[in-house]
Each structure stands twice: as C-alpha cells, then as structure tokens.
C-alpha cells in the first residue's frame, strides 16, 4: 500500500483523500518510508518533522485543522509537501543553509507556510538549499550536497535542488521553492521535473526585507503540470503582509487545464540571438522539442526578444538586492559566509547610484520590448538551462559550450533575463542527452499569464509523456567526460 501511494500523482492522491479512500496519516507514513529508503542516496530533505506532520494529519482527520479551506481552490486535503530551508516553519529547524543559523528554530511560520497548511498541505520536512539560496548547485556547510537522482554523481542544480529531488524521487508529492535568477527552473531542468516562477505578486513572499523588489518570488515544483497547477492554487492570492500580492483568479489554474487553449504563435530561441554560450546537445534537444508545438497546430518560428542590456541590468539589481539582505551579515560575520554571498554583496556595495539608475531604465525598456514581443507571439520557448547537470562537487559548470564562465551566475543567464521581464516562466522536461542527463524547456508566458502558460505546458507535456517516468529510484553513475 505504501509503495502504491508514493507513486501516485498529487492530483490523484488529493482526489483519494477527498473521497476518504486514503487518510492523511497513511500518506505521511508512505512519505516517511520513502524518505528513509532514498534519502541516504540524495540528501534532499536533511531536516524532517515527522511527529509534527503526524499531529497535523490527525487534526485534519478529526476535522480540527484547515477545515475552513475545504471548499477553496488548491485544497490539498492532507497531502505531504516539502518546504525549502529558506522558509520558516514554526518549531522546525530552519537554517537558510548557513552556519550562522545552524541551530535556528523559528517560533512562527512564514505566511506562505501558514497558507499551505491552511489549505491542507502537511509539511513533512525542509529541503536542502545553498547558503541563503545563492548558487546553481545545492550544497552548504550545514548539510552538505544534494545529489541528482538520475545520476548521483551530478548536481541537482540550485537553489531549489532539494525540492526538485524530493518530488522526483517520490519523497513528497509537491515541493515549495523560490526563484531569483532561475532557482525553480534550473533544478527542474536538471532533475526532469516541473518548476514554475510565478509573476511577482502571484504568491506571497511574506516578510522579506526586499518587499518592493520583484526579483525573488516563491513558487511550486511538481512531477507534472496538473500537480503544479494544484499547488499554485494552494499558494496564490492576496496577502496583507506582502504589498505586491493580488487576488487569486476567479477560475482556478487547475480548472483552466480542463479547457486548454492552444497558443497560436510560438517563438523559440536557444540563446537570445547568440548572447550566451550553450551546450551543443542542449541546443539541439530543445530546438527539436520546440518544434513539437507544431504538432498542436501552432506556428513555430525562430525569434527572440531583444534583451539589450538586460543581462547586465539583472546583475546590478541583484547586487542591490544582496546589499539589502546581506550587508549587515557581511559586516559582522564575513568569515562565516561563502564566497558567492560575499561576491554578490560586495558587487552591490561597489555600485554607484548611476549604475542602479541605468539598470532601472534598462529594466523598464526591456519590459516594454517584451510586451511588444508578446503582441506577436503567445509563448516564448528557450532552454531551461544552458548545460545539463554537472559534477556534484563543483560550485558551477566550469565552462559551457567551450566557453569559460566568469562567475557562478554565468550559467543562469537564460533564466535570469526572464526574471527581469516579470513574466511567468516554467520549465518542463523535454528529453535527455547522450549521457542520460535530463534537459528541460523554459516556457515564458505573457505578463500575469500563468493560466495560459500552464495550459500550453500541459499540452506539450501530453505530447512527450516524460512525466510518466517519475518518480524514480536514485541511480548511481559517473561524471561524463564531455571535454
């Protein structure tokens, strides 16, 4: 019975919960057993809260918890989920991946966790993340490295690497994560799962210091688009503690999938007109996958928005973001911060008001160009990552397409540029390279266009059927000698 449960989709599990064919407590135990079986191989959920989860399951079963949300979109009915270790869960060790907070146990939960739990989601554990979420590979000095289940010698990506692995292996049905430059999309690409960066304001960010910045958002990960839509419904909506949030849509994202609208015109670009390096095989796999939209009746064309200096603007504004978040820690605890944190923060501190003003002007101009671009196209398609998963022991890929990277963010340009546009974007699996490493496709929708984006992704997913390969048992392997 336990083996049957963890293999089910989130949508099926919730349907069975609602019919009382299975109980929340049975799902918690199925999750706990699966975690015990695979966690030693992947290190995705280093902090568990099983007794807390069991207590929550019993309260739901007795009608004493979250019952006011049973009629709302996104009702999870007692489904276990993972929460990224950047996000507070009351009474559960939350380290942010940093030695500075190795023993931190918050007294209250993040507003998003409160919402997920009110919607019947049961927190089973905290997923691993790089220190403060900065990094394209998931490792830290508190818990060590998270490994890719398709090949445990490879990285899961970052920074929601633990979340991606937790759903890919069946430890949980859904995973919460966050995305600044690609932290939901990169791990989705590397682990062959689905990850969505929602529009800023779609999901509450709670009480962060950067409340007025649209760069970093919270969002869902899952094994399929339908599961992802279910979790987005549980997350979306106005939150008084986040001034950027707005109301959830009248028609739920899950209901929208029942009547999908096919995009008419789809644009594909592998590298934004040659503006970034890309692995040759990734380029070829993604180009073939993008052409699959033609099978749905779409017009597919090679076309790219003009990114201008958006890549430079992203780094400037990201630096300012780090100044807000990390300046005081850099001043007081520099020796305890990893080099990536120091680099990002010092870059921000070294910028001038003129630099920031130039970046803001470029961000505004890029947004106007994106809006114009979406006047012609309904969907923009790019690779989900510029390279497949690399050695788990490395901070980042040393080179991509034969070109050395100047810094760890160099491999994230394909997703980071889209962050600056404020458009919703998600990654769906689209194939595997010659070494069996997953490759994902990034789909970018119109501003606040999550509903249409999810529908296009669901139609694409149905064509390929790669979601049916999950969940998987972790597989040992070696690092490909790709030169």
Please list the active-site residues.
84, 159, 183
How far is 274 from 465, CA to CA, in rounded Å? 30
Residue 255 CB neighbours (<10 A): 14
- From the list 435, 429, 430, 383, the residue with the least C-alpha distance to 151 is 435
Here the tokens at position 323 are 């100044």
SS3 letters for the chain? CHHHHHHCCHHHHHHHHHCCCCCHHHHHHHHHHHHHHHHHHHCCCCEECHHHHHHHHHHHHCCCCCHHHCCCCCCCCCEEEEEECCCCCCCCCCCCCCHHHCCCCCCCCCHHHHHHHHCCEEEEEEECCCHHHCCCCCEECCCEECEECCEEEEECCCCCHHHHHHHHCCCCCEEEEEECCCCCHHHHHHHCCEEEECCCCCECCCCCCCCCCCCCEEEEEECCHHHHHHHHHHHECCCCCCCCCCCCCCCCHHHHHCCCCCCCEEEECCCCCCCCCCCHHHHHHHHHHHHHHHHHCCEEEECCCCCCCHHHHHHHHHHHHHHHHHHHHHHHHHHHCCHHHHHHHHHHHCCCHHHHHHHHHHHHHHHHHHHHHCCCCCEEEEECCCCCCCECCCCCCCEECCEECCCHHHHHHHHHHHHHHCCCEEEEEEEECCCCCEEEEEEECCCCCHHHHHHHHHHHHHHHCHHHHCCCCCCCCCCCCCC
């Amino acid at each position: 019975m336990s083996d049957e449960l963890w293999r089910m989709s989130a949508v099926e599990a919730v349907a069975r919960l609602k019919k009382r064919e299975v109980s929340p407590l049975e799902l918690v135990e199925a999750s706990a057993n699966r975690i015990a079986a695979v966690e030693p191989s992947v290190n995705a959920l280093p902090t568990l809260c099983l007794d807390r989860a069991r207590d929550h399951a019993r309260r739901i079963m007795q009608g004493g918890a979250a019952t006011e949300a049973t009629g709302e979109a996104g009702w999870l009915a007692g489904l276990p989920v993972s929460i990224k270790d950047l996000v507070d869960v009351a009474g559960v060790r939350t380290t942010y991946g940093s030695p500075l907070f190795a023993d931190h146990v918050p007294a209250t939960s993040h507003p998003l966790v409160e919402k997920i739990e009110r919607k019947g989601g049961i927190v089973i554990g905290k997923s691993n993340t790089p220190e403060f979420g900065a990094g394209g590979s998931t490792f830290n000095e508190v818990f060590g490295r998270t490994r890719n289940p398709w090949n445990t010698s490879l990285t899961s990506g970052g920074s929601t690497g633990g979340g991606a692995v937790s759903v890919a292996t069946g430890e949980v049905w859904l995973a919460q994560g966050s995305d600044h430059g690609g932290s939901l999309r990169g791990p989705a690409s590397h682990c062959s799962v689905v990850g969505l960066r929602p529009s800023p304001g779609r999901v509450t960010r709670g009480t962060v210091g950067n409340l007025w910045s649209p760069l970093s958002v919270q969002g869902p990960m899952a094994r399929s688009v339908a599961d992802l839509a279910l979790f987005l419904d549980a997350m979306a909506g106005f939150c008084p503690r986040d001034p950027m949030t707005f109301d959830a849509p009248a028609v739920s994202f899950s209901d929208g999938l029942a009547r999908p609208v096919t995009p008419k015109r789809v644009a594909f670009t592998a590298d934004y007109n040659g503006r970034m390096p890309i692995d040759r095989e990734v380029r070829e796999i993604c180009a073939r996958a993008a052409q699959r939209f033609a099978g749905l009746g779409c017009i597919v064309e090679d076309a790219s928005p003009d990114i201008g200096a958006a890549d430079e603007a992203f780094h400037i504004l990201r630096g300012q973001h780090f100044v807000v978040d990390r300046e005081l820690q850099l001043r007081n605890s520099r020796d305890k911060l990893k080099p990536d944190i120091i680099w990002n923060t010092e870059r921000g501190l070294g910028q001038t008001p003129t630099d920031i003003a130039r970046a803001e002007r470029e961000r505004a101009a890029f947004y106007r160009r994106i809006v114009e671009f979406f006047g012609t196209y309904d969907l923009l398609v790019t690779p989900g990552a510029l390279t497949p998963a690399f050695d788990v022991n490395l901070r980042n890929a040393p080179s991509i397409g034969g070109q050395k990277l100047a810094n760890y963010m160099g491999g994230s340009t394909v997703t980071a540029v889209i962050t600056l546009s404020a458009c919703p974007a998600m990654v769906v699996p689209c194939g595997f390279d010659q070494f069996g490493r997953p490759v994902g496709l990034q789909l970018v929708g119109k501003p606040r266009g999550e509903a249409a984006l999810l529908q296009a992704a669901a139609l694409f997913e149905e064509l390929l059927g790669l979601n049916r390969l999950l969940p998987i048992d972790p597989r040992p392997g070696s690092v490909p000698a790709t030169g």
